Structure 1
Amino acid sequence: MNRRLAVRTLLVAIVAVAVSACAGIPSSGPVTRVADDGDLGQSAVRYAPAGPQQGATPEQIVRGYLDAMLAFPQSTRTASTFLTAKAADSWAPSSQVRVYSQPEVSQPQAPAGSGDTGELVPGTVTVRLGFAEDAQLDRQGRYTRVAAPSAVAYTLEQVDGEWRITDPQDGLLVNEKFFADYFRSFDLYFFDRPGRRLVPDPVYLVVGDQLATNLMTSLAGGPSAAAREATRTYVPERSALRPSVPVSSRGVADVEFTDDFADLGRSSRDRLSAQVVWTLRQVPDVEGVQVLGGTTALTAGGDDTQPVQAWGGFGPSTARGRAYAVVANQVVEVDDGETRPISGTWGKDARGAQQVAVAESGVAAVLPGGAAVRLTSREGTGGRTVRGTDFIAPDWDPDGRLWLVDRPAGSTRVRVTTGSEQTTLDVGAVAGLDVTDFHLSPDGTRYALVAIDGGVGRLYVGRVLRDVTDQVRGLGDPAPVFTTAQAPRAASWASTTELAFLGDSEAGAQIYLVSIDGSETTSQVSRSGSLLPDVGADALALGTGRSQVVYVTDQRDRLWFLPPGGSWKVLDTPPVTALTIGR
C-alpha cells in the first residue's frame, strides 16, 4: 500500500474546519454510523440528505442543494432534485470538486416587477453564495490550492409552484469537513517516456465502495497536460473502460476494457498491467487484479489473476537509505546512532569536504571553497575533478549518474556526469532561481529544490525530462509547493510524492513533510511524538521507506539522532561538517 496512506489520518488535525452550520450536516437527516471502510482512516458516518421541502424559499433551496452535495456514499441523485429538469440533465458534477469554507447565502434578490413590499412574485430570482475557496480538484482528482474568496450566483425559477435552480455551478461544492472526512490521497501510476519507470501522480478521491472504479476512471484519463512531456500511459482511454470495477469477495478487482488486447505486444501488455495493478493495490482488501481487453486477458507470470505485489521491477528502488556524514575529515556511515568510516580513501581523508554524496556508484565531495567537486569510485579510485562556482551538495540518481548544481555568473547550472561523459542540461526556469538544495526523487523522475526568494526559502518540484532512449534531456519547469511551515530549507525526498525539510516553529526548527501537490503539511513530531530540541538544526538526513532514519546537525556541528520509537539524542562525535542520505 502507498506509504502516504498511513499518515492521512492526520489531515483533520492540520485542516482548519470553519464551516457554517447552514452548510454542514444537519440533525434532521438520516445519519448512520457504520464500520470503518478499510484502513484509510476516513469517517465512519454515512449521510443521506433530504430533498427539497414543499414551500421552501429560494434561500432554503440553495442551502439544501449545498447540503445534498455532502451525501456519503457520494451520490448526486438528491442534489439534482433541487434543480430544474433541464439543469439536472446538463449538470456535470464529475467535472471538478471545489472545496470551500465560510459559506454565506444571501437573501434572494427580487426580480424586476416586484411589488413595493419587496415580496417575491412568480418569475426568477437570484441567490448569491459567497465562500472562501480553499482548493480545487480536477476531473481526475488532482489537487490545486486556491485560498481565495469566491462566489456563485444561482438563478432560480418556479416549477409547479416550487423554486428550483436553473444554473448549477460546474462540478461539486464540498465543505472542508467533508473533504477531510471522506477524501484521501492516492496515486495514479503512469510511465516515464522511456517506459522504464512507473511515475506516481497524486490525486484525491472519495473513499468507499466505489474506490476501485474511481481510481480506474481517473487512471484512464491519462497524464495531465503538464506531465505529458515527461510521462506516458499504456492504459486505453476512459471511453474504453467498462463503467464499473467490481471487487469480489476473494479480493479480486475485475477491470474490463472494450478494446481488444490481442494485438498488443508483450511489452505494452506488461506495462498496462503494471499501471493498473500499482494503482489498484491501494484499495483495501484488493489482493489481485484481472485485466481483460475484449476477449484477451492480461497475465502476470502466466496467471490471469495478477497479485498486487506484481510488477515491482517497474517501481522505485526499495533499498534502505543510509546516512553518511563527514566527521573529523572522514566520510562515515551512520547507522543506529553509530558511526564508522567507509572503506577506501574517503574513510581516511575526506579532503575537507563541505558537502558529500555517497552511493554504490561512487563518492562525490564539494571541496573547500565550493569551486570544485572531487568524484571517485566508492573505494576512492579513478578520481577526477569538476570545476565550477558555488557548488551545492551533489546527488546521485538511481541509475548511477551524478548531478552537479552550481551558479556560474549568477545563473543556476545543472550538469549530469556518467563515467567520463558530462552533459549540461537545459534547465529552463530553474536557471533563474537561487538554488540552495537540489535532490532527485527515489525513482529519478522528479527533482525538488529550495530556492531563496526575498531572503526566504521556497520549495519547488519539477520533472526530469528523458527521451525514449532514456537519455536525460533537461528539466521541466519548477512548480512551487505550498506549505504551512515557515522558512523551508534542507529539503530532501521522504517518498516518491512527499518532501521532508526543516522549517521554523515556535519550538525552534522542526522537521516537516509536505505532499508535492501542496495539499498537506505534517510535522515529524506528529509521527514520532518527539520534539526536536531547539538547537538551531541546519542539515537533515531522512531516509525513504517505512522505517525512516532521521538525523540532523545543529549550529554547533553536533549530530542528532532520532531512533525509531525513541527520543532525540545527541551523538558523541567530533564536529560534523556534512550530512546526507546515500544509496
Structure 2
Amino acid sequence: MAVRGRGRRTAARAAGAYRRRLPARTRRYATVALLGGSLLLAGCASMPDSGGVHQVPLSEQREDPRARTYAERPEPGASPQRIVSDFLEALRSDDYATVAKAYLTKKARTWTPGETTVLAEAPRVSEQPTPGPKPVNGDRMTTAVVQLSGDKVAWLNDAGTYTPDERVYNLNIELSKEGKSGQWRIVDPPRGLVISRADFERTFQSASTYHFTARSRDTLVADPVYVRRRIDPVTDAVRTLLDGPGGLIGSVTETTFPERTTLARNQRLAVDEEGTLRVRLALETTPGLHTCERMAAQVLHTAESQEGVRVDNVELLTARDTKLCDLSATAGERYAPDRLARHPSSLYFIDAKNRLVRTSSGPDAGEAGPATVISPLGDGKPAIGSAAVARSEKKAAGVTATGRALYVSSLDESSALGEPLLTSGATEAQAERGDGLTAASWDGLGDLWVADRVGGESRLYWMAGGAADPVRIDVTGLEGRIEALRMSAEGARIALVVSEGSESRLVLGAVSVKDGVPVVAQLRDTGALEEVRAVSWAGESRLLVVGRESEGVQQMRLVSTDGSVPPAAELGQGLTGVTSVAAAEDGTKPLVAAVEDGIVRLPQNAYWKAVPGGEGGTAPVYPG
C-alpha cells in the first residue's frame, strides 16, 4: 500500500525545489535519489517521509537502482538544437511517456516511442540549413532542421529485441515555430530513443520471455529482450511475452496463449507480500486447465528473469477477476529452462595420449589429476581428437584424431568400441589439410549432432538417441562451411562457427521439426568478433566465444544469443593461443580453456590456473 498525504507531498515539493535550484542544464535531467530505509512499505514502492534529496549523476545510476530520473519540460526560448537535445534526454527519463510529448507539435503528439537506436557514443546534434527560400524583409524563420549523427551499433524493435547493426547513422528532424507561443517544437520525432551504448546499459536491463517449441516439448526456451529499468519492467516483460517471440526462436515456437490475448487494462504487475504474482488477462477464449498451467509457467519464468524478482506463485485471472489457474514455483520447475541442462559432475578433455579423461568439475577439486573414463574412448585406441559427453554422463561420442570417424560408447561399463557411427567423406589427405568431422555435440534430448567438412562444403548430421543412422539435416540459408557446432540443452537452438574465405563468424540457428526430422533455419549472424575460433554455451541464452577482431588480439567474451555483449564480458585476460573453451550451462562451474600448455580453468572471483594433470591436454568439454 503506497504512502499518501503529507509524506508524498513533502517529497514532491522537495524534488521540485531541488530542480529549481539547480543550474538550467543540470536540472533538465535531474535525478532524485530516495534515501532512508522506508522506500518499500508493505511491498509497494512509496515516497519516504524523511531523508534528503540529492543529485545523482547519470553515470552512477546503475549502482543505485532506487534512483529515479525526471525530465524537465521545454525551456522557453530554446533553440531548435537545444529542443532536440533536451527531447532525447527526456526520452531517457522515468516519466518520458508524458514529458517528452511536450517537445512535439500538437499534431505530432499522437507519436508513441517504439524502437531504440543504439550508437557507439552520444549522438551529435547539429542544426542544418533549411531547404527553400530564405526569409526576407525582417521575416523570421518558422521551420528548422536538426540532424542526429553517429556510429550505429544496434537497434531494439518495439518488443525489445536487440539486433546488432553497424553502420553510419544520420537522421534529420524537422521543427516548426508555434504561432502563438513562438516556441520551437518537433514535427517529425525519431521512432524512439537515440542513445549511446553507455546510456543504453544504464537505461535498459536484460530480461527474457519464455516459450515452448516443437523440439523443446515441455521445456521453456529463452527469448532475450530488453526492458526499461525502474519504470515497470515486470509488466513490460509480460506484455512482450503475450506479443510472442521476436528473436531467434520466433519461427519455431508453439502457441500456448489463445490468440489476441493481452493484459487487462490498468495493471502494474508486482509480486505481493506472499510472493504471488496476479495477472489479469483479456481473453477471447478461455483456456483449459493444462494450457493455463503452461501459460502460467511462461509468466513465472518471464517475471523471474527480472533482476531481483522472485515469484512463489503465479495466479492467472480474467479481466473480471475470475480465477483461471495458479502455478507454484515448485510446480513450475517441470518446465524450467535449465531442466535438460543438468548439473555436470565432471569436466572432460583429451589428454596428451589422445585418451578421453575426466576430472571433478568443482573449482578446487581434482587436485589428484584426471582419470581415464571407463570406455574404449579412454584406451587411446583409436587415438581420439575430440569428444562430446551426453548430459546424462552415461554416453560419449569421440571423433578420431584424424577427423575421419565418429564413435559412440558407454561411459559406465567396459565394452567393445564397434563400428563408427559416421565416417567422414574426406580422404586422408583432405583430413590432414583440415577437412573431416567437427567435434560432436549432444542436446538435452539425447540426440547427437556433428558436421562433416569436405573441400569448401559441410554437411550437418543428426543421430537420434546417439545411436540411429545419421540423417543429413537441411540448414536453410547457410553461406560458408561449418567449422564447429554446439547444441543448446533443449535442442531448439544451434550455435555454428561458419567460415567463409579467411573469416569465420558465429551464427545461431533455430531448430524446428518437419516430418519427425529436425530442420535448422532462421540463421542469425551474432556479429561477435570477426575470426571466431571456438564457442560454448554458457547459460540458457548466453555463449562463451573465442576469436579476434580484424587485426586485433585474441579475445574471450560472453555474447547473448541476440548478439548483445554484456558489460565487462571480456574474460580472457592473460591467455593466449586458446584453441577451445568449455562452460557449464547452469553457470555454476569454472570456465575452462585449452591453451598451448594444456588445460586451464577460471574459478569464480579468481584467476586462470592450470588444471592438475592437464598438461598437453586439448578439447575440454562439459556434458553437452
**Which band: TM-score by shorter chain?**
0.7 to 0.9
Deviates more, 1:316-325 or 1:489-498: 316-325
Structure-2 residue corresponding to 1:289: 314
The CA deviation at 1:74 is 4.3
Match of 1:333 in 2: 358
Q: TM-score, normalised by structure 2?
A: 0.79
In the alignment, which of 442, 452, 477 is matched to residue 396 of structure 1?
442
> How far apart in 1 are the matches of 2:86 and 2:494?
45
In structure 2, do the counterparts of structure 1 residues 496 and 381 end up closer, same or farther at CA, with 3 Å as the change threshold? farther
TM-score between the two structures when normalised by the length of structure 1: 0.84
| Distance in 2 between residues matched to 1:420 and 1:115, nearest whole Å | 80
**Partner of 1:547 in structure 2?**
588
Alignment of 1:401-480 (within 5 A): 401-408=447-454, 410-418=456-464, 419-430=467-478, 432-467=479-514, 471-480=516-525
* 8 A contact 2:337–2:540 mirrored in 1: no
Distance 1:550 1:573, change over 3 A: same
Q: Name the CA shift for 1:152/1:125 in 2 (closer, same or farther; >3 Å).
A: closer
1:492 partner amino acid: S
Give the Å deviation of 1:574.
5.7
Residue correspondence of structure 1 range 482-561 to structure 2 within 5 A: 482-483=527-528, 485=529, 487-504=531-548, 509-520=554-565, 531-534=573-576, 536-556=577-597, 558-561=598-601
Determine if contact 1:511/1:523 at 8 Å carries over to the other structure.
no
Number of the residue aligned with 1:82:
103
Is 1:68 matched up with 2:79?
no
Tell whether the 8 Å contact from 2:209 to 2:241 is kept in structure 1 after alignment: yes
Aligned counterparts of 1:170 and 1:309: Cα–Cα separation in 2: 41
Give identity over the alignment, percent: 25
Q: Secondary structure at the match of 1:421?
A: coil
- Mapping for residues 49-68 of structure 1, pairs under 5 Å: 49-68=71-90
Q: Distance in 1 between matches of 2:440 and 2:153?
A: 37
1:394 is displaced (CA, Å) by 0.9
Letter in 1 for 2:300: V
8 A contact 1:133–1:150 mirrored in 2 = no
Say if 2:603 is the partner of 1:568. Answer: no
Determine the C-alpha separation between the residues in 2 that align with 1:517 and 1:130.
25
| C-alpha distance in 2 between matches for 1:292 and 1:84 | 40
Distance in 1 between the 2:535 and 2:280 partners? 42
Contact 1:241/1:256, CA 8 A, preserved across alignment:
yes
Deviation string 1:168-227 (CA, Å, 9 cap, x unpaired) is 222333343431212111111111035433111111111215111101111111122864
Residue number in structure 1 paired with 2:388: 357
Corresponding letter in the other structure for 2:485: F
SS at match of 1:144: strand
| Equivalent pair of 1:414/1:424 in contact (CA under 8 Å) | yes
- Structure 2 counterpart of 1:313: 335
Aligned-pair CA distance for 1:314: 4.4
* Further displaced range: 318-327 or 559-568: 559-568
| Aligned position for 2:211 | 190
SS of equivalent to 1:354? strand
Return the match for 2:116 from 97, 116, 134: 97
C-alpha deviation, 1:292, in angstroms? 1.2
Greater mean deviation of Cα atoms: 399-408 or 222-231: 222-231
SS at match of 2:489: coil
Structure 2 distance, partners of 1:52, 1:524, is: 39
* Deviation digits for residues 257-278 of structure 1 (CA, Å, limit 9, x no counterpart): 121664x233322221111111
Letter aligned with residue 33 of structure 1: A
In 2, the alpha carbon distance for the partners of 1:523 and 1:486 equals: 19
| Unaligned ranges ≥5, structure 2 | 1-23, 46-60, 427-435
Mapped to 2, the partners of 1:82 and 1:491 lie a distance apart of 47
Q: Single out whichever of 450-459 and 135-144 deviates more from structure 2.
A: 450-459
Indicate if the aligned counterparts of 1:354 and 1:367 stay in contact, CA closer than 8 A.
Answer: yes
1:559 counterpart SS class: strand
Q: Of residues 208, 211, 222 in structure 1, which corresponds to 2:230?
A: 208
Give the Cα separation in 2 of the matches to 1:578 and 1:135: 34
Question: Could you tell me how far 1:405 is from its partner in structure 2?
Answer: 0.8
Q: Please say which of residues 361-370 and 104-113 is displaced more in the overlay.
A: 104-113
For residue 375 of structure 2, what is the amino acid of its counterpart? G
Structure 1 residue 141 displacement after superposition: 0.2
2:618 paired with 1:580: no
SS of the residue corresponding to residue 393 of structure 1 reads coil
> What RMSD in Å do the two structures reach over aligned CA positions?
3.2
Question: Is contact 1:220–1:236 with CA below 8 Å preserved after alignment?
Answer: no
Q: Which residue of 1 aligns with 2:58?
A: none
- What is the distance in 1 between the residues matched to 2:525 and 2:255? 25
Q: Distance in 2 between matches of 1:308 and 1:231?
A: 24
Distance in 2 separating the partners of 1:510 and 1:59: 40
**AA matched with 1:414:** L
Secondary structure in 1 matching 2:622: strand
Counterpart Cα distance in 2 of 1:126 and 1:306: 55
- Alpha-carbon contact 1:442-1:495 (below 8 Å) kept: no
Aligned partner of 2:53 in structure 1 is none
CA distance in structure 1 between the aligned counterparts of 2:97 and 2:447, rounded to whole angstroms:
51
Partners of 1:49 and 1:342 in 2: how far apart?
63
Residue 454 of structure 1 deviates from its aligned partner by: 3.3
Deviations 1:23-70 (A, max 9, x none): x98345532123699998665532222112223333332222222212
Distance 1:549 1:163, change over 3 A: closer
Task: Choose 50-59 or 102-111, whichever is displaced more.
Answer: 102-111
